[in-house]
Amino acid sequence: MKLIVHDRPMISGSNRKKIKLLSVLLLFWFLVIIVRLVDLQVLEHKKLKAEVIEQSQDLITVLPTRGTIFDRNGKILARSLPAASVFFSPVKEEPLDKQIENVYLLKGILELNDSEIKRIVNSIEKRKRFTWIKRKIPVEVAERIRSLKLPGIYLLEENRRFYPQCSLAAHVLGGVNVDDYGLAGVEYVYNSALRGEEGQQLIMKDARKKEYFIETIKETKPGKDIYLTIDSTIQYIAEKELQQAVEKFKAEWGTVIISIPRTGEILAMASYPSYDPNFFPPQEKAMVNRAIQHTYEPGSTVKIVTAAAARELANISLQTYYDCSQGFIAFGGTTVRDHVRMGVLSFPEVFIHSSNVGSIKIAEMTGEENLYRMFKAFGFGEKTGIDLPGEESGVVHPLEKWRKSSLRVAIGYEISATPLQILRAMNVYATGGYLVKPKVTIDRPQPAWSVVEASLNSSEEFPRIISQKTVSELVELVFKQVVEKGTGTEARIDGYEIAGKTGTAQKFDPAIKAYSYSKHVASFVGFAPADNPAISMIVVIDEPKGPLQYGGQVAAPVFREIARKVLLYLHQAPQKLPEKMIIARQIQKKAGVTD
């Protein structure tokens, strides 16, 4: 048998080196891949996972259902209703011009203005993953958008604040922003309670980036409900009469506050011009709550404090007389005049007829220190503490800074106050001498008439400012008579006794650096019935135009019209038969007609 041996090719040395080099390179490349995989799968796993999640989902804060605000009778003044918000998120491989086109298709439906369109388009062009288009739209509008099925356009369920009574009690309620944060009024003061607790939702996009899935991460907690001291009916009466007066006299603004004197509960707080909180924020002029956020030199309404200081601290007799026949008095480098020349007036008559001359003479006898002490005791220069934001404290200059002309504080100059401070001062007389803190919220619903009835003989829990004796004397001999035969006769209501005080203050004109003879603040403050007050009220009208400018001519009639309607609404029967009924009965009696 023949053995055949095949020759194998020999690998040269140079080829062996190449093979070894290639093997090393392959091994190195393999190691690089291993290291990279370890890096991606182990070391950077969390980071890369977060990036993927970030590209496919968004974490959105979910606003809770804001608490409802009721008036004292349980009528809804503010509530939250279902709404929807529209947002944009780009669809994968959707052309940029198509994305922008989809937004323009919503312009008419959502009433988007040019600036809003510009904001949205800029966001899309910057390739942002999430862009709000319109917040808090009505549900029916949301359904129209949903039916269009526009790529990249999505809807999110939310709530929107709604004020069913529109502008009623706007300055008390305030308003909220688009994120349901209270920015004014009760909405601001009680924002934490009303707002509740926020939740969170995870909005996830599918792999094709076309559809959204929503998962709730944290449930919301709805806000608490709040009851106001405001009575919607009384508020409506006050607002209507105030608006008519401001428009009739072409005034700059006006305000009316009505309270239950013994509890401090505010039944109505109206300012004009007003606004609709459904369209918040309003214009700056309408935004101001003149009742507490505006101070002015109040004029003669503060003579209620001057009278108290004279009787309580200086013990000036009611039988003291003052010669006011000149019609003016000069002191401390200034001159004070009466609106008409008067003769010799008794202490009560000085205030009944609102004589500035007589008031200054009483102030001189009372003394600066006693005046200062009484104004501070009545709370002037300090906030009342009402549970509303932005309250001004007013100004009562420290005694050491008083000049010789500072006695004008006795007639309402060189002092500033809010209308609420003046009302609280008058409430001292309505309560028998107590300084009551005003408020606009209560714990539970309670009709105003029942509170009035219960409070008429209630014991007071507030500090006493003046004695019952001083209160009784001044109410009977001064403030009733102001309405019966003094400067406030236009506030008289048939069948009821009213106690009050008029005020007419000249406004300081910076242009001429002096007090204007044509610009005034007209006011009236009082309570009814005088002997057992159910309500107290202040009316302030700024810069009335025309021949009628005094508080007794402009503000007192507004007080009369409001008080007459409110007293009947609160079941306060007349104390005596109206004059017309008395005359009618006398005629019937003479004619032999009986009931």
Positive or negative: CA dihedral 69, 565, 259, 243: positive
* 513-528 core/surface letters (b: 16 or more CB in 10 A; e: else): eeeeeebbbbbbbbbb
Q: Is 97 exposed, middle or buried (0-12, 13-18, 19+ CB in 10 A)?
A: exposed
**52 band by pLDDT with thresholds 50, 70 and 90:** very low
HSE toward the beta carbon, residue 547, CA cutoff 13 A: 0
Q: pLDDT tens across 149-179, in order?
A: 888 888 888 889 999 999 999 999 999 998 8
pLDDT at 71: 97
Measured in degrees and rounded to the nearest 5, phi and psi for residue 381 equal 85, 0
pLDDT reading at 561 higher than 80: yes
CB-based burial label for 94 (10 Å; 0-12, 13-18, 19+): middle
Give the count of beta carbons closer than 10 Å to the beta carbon of residue 170.
Answer: 27
| Residue closest to 549 by CA, chosen among 487, 499, 495, 497 | 487
Beta partners for 84?
Answer: 137, 157
d(CA 423, CA 440): 15
Which among 386, 536, 375, 529 has a CA at the least distance from the CA of 466?
Answer: 375
CB 186 within 8 A of CB 269: no
Q: Residue 124: pLDDT band by 50, 70, 90 thresholds?
A: confident
State residue 42's pLDDT score.
Answer: 58
Range among 35-39, 201-205, 252-256, 590-594 with highest mean pLDDT value: 252-256
DSSP state string for 442-461: ESS---HHHHHHHHTTPPP-
Lowest average pLDDT, out of 22-31, 317-326, 368-377, goes to 22-31
Residue 1 has a CB neighbour count (10 Å cut-off) of 3
Is the pLDDT assigned to residue 229 strictly greater than 80? yes
N- to C-terminal Cα separation, the chain: 162
pLDDT of residue 459: 46
Percent of the chain with pLDDT over 90: 61
What's the whole-number mean pLDDT along residues 413-418? 96
Q: What angle do CA 49, 55, 56 make, to 5 degrees?
A: 90
Q: Which pLDDT belongs to residue 1?
A: 46
Q: How far apart are CA 288 and CA 297, in angstroms?
A: 18
Residue 11 confidence class, pLDDT cut points 50, 70, 90? low
Antiparallel, parallel or unpaired: β 226-228 and 253-260? unpaired
pLDDT higher than 90, residue 391: yes
- Residue 48: the pLDDT is 47
Within 10 Å of residue 10's Cβ, how many Cβ atoms? Answer: 7
The segment with the largest mean pLDDT, out of 1-5, 167-171, 330-334, is 167-171
Whether residue 481 has pLDDT greater than 70: yes
Predicted local distance difference test score (pLDDT) of residue 588: 55
The gap from C-alpha 564 to its chain's centroid, in whole angstroms, comes to: 27
Model confidence band, residue 585 (pLDDT cutoffs 50, 70, 90) = low
Give me the DSSP letters along 80-142: EEEEEEEEE-PPTT--HHHHHHHHHTTHHHHT--HHHHHHHHHHHHTT-S-EEEEEEE-HHHH
SS3 32: helix
Q: Could you give the CA distance from residue 338 to residue 342 in angstroms, rounded to a whole number? A: 8
Residue type, 93: E
Lowest mean pLDDT among 137-151, 247-261, 345-359: 137-151
Query: Residues 382-401, buried b or exposed e (16+ Cβ, 10 A)?
Result: eebebbbbebebbebeeeee
Per DSSP bridges, beta strands 226-228 and 69-70 are parallel
Whether 264 and 437 have beta carbons less than 8 Å apart is answered as yes
Contact of 562 with 241, CB cutoff 8 Å? yes
Q: How confident is the model at residue 314 (pLDDT cuts 50, 70, 90)?
A: very high
* Mean pLDDT value across the chain: 87
CA gap 395, 381 in Å, rounded: 5
> Of 466, 414, 540, nearest to 304 (Cα)?
466
Comparing CA positions, the residue from 535, 539, 488 lying closest to residue 239 is 539
Would you place residue 544 in the very low, low, confident or very high pLDDT band (cuts 50, 70, 90)?
very high
Using a pLDDT cut of 70, give the percent of the chain over it.
86
Per-residue pLDDT, averaged over 241-246, amounts to 97
Res. 32: pLDDT tops 80: no
pLDDT at 219: 78
Length of the chain: 595
Which tens digits make up the pLDDT trace of 334-344? 999 998 999 99
Query: Which residues touch 279 (CB under 8 Å, ≥6 apart)?
Result: none
CB-based burial, 190-211: b 16+ in 10 Å, e otherwise: bbeebbbeebebebebeeebee
Please determine, for residue 508, whether its predicted confidence score (pLDDT) is greater than 80. yes
Mean pLDDT of 510-533: 92
User: Quick one: tokens of 487?
Assistant: 């400067």
Q: Is the model's pLDDT at 367 over the cut of 90?
A: yes
Above 80 in pLDDT, residue 458?
A: no
Cα 418 to chain centroid distance, Å, stands at 15
Q: At 425, is the pLDDT very low, low, confident or very high (cuts 50, 70, 90)?
A: very high
Model confidence band, residue 346 (pLDDT cutoffs 50, 70, 90): very high
Q: How confident is the model at residue 405 (pLDDT cuts 50, 70, 90)?
A: confident
Q: What is the pLDDT at residue 466? A: 96
What confidence tier does 575 reach under pLDDT thresholds 50, 70, 90?
Answer: confident
Domains annotated on the chain, with CATH: 59-228 (3.90.1310.10), 232-579 (3.40.710.10)
User: What's the CA gap between 322 and 320, in Å, rounded?
Assistant: 7
Query: Between these two residues, 9 and 19, which has the higher pLDDT value?
Result: 19
Tell the burial category of 281 from Cβ atoms under 10 Å away from its Cβ (0-12, 13-18, 19+).
Answer: middle
CB 162 within 8 A of CB 277: no
Give the model's confidence band at 70: pLDDT under 50 very low, under 70 low, under 90 confident, else very high.
very high
Q: What is the pLDDT of residue 12?
A: 62
Q: For residues 528 and 496, is the Cβ–Cβ distance under 8 A? A: yes
Distance CA(376)–CA(64), nearest Å, equals 44
Neighbours of 477 (CB within 10 A): 17
pLDDT, residue 47, reads 57
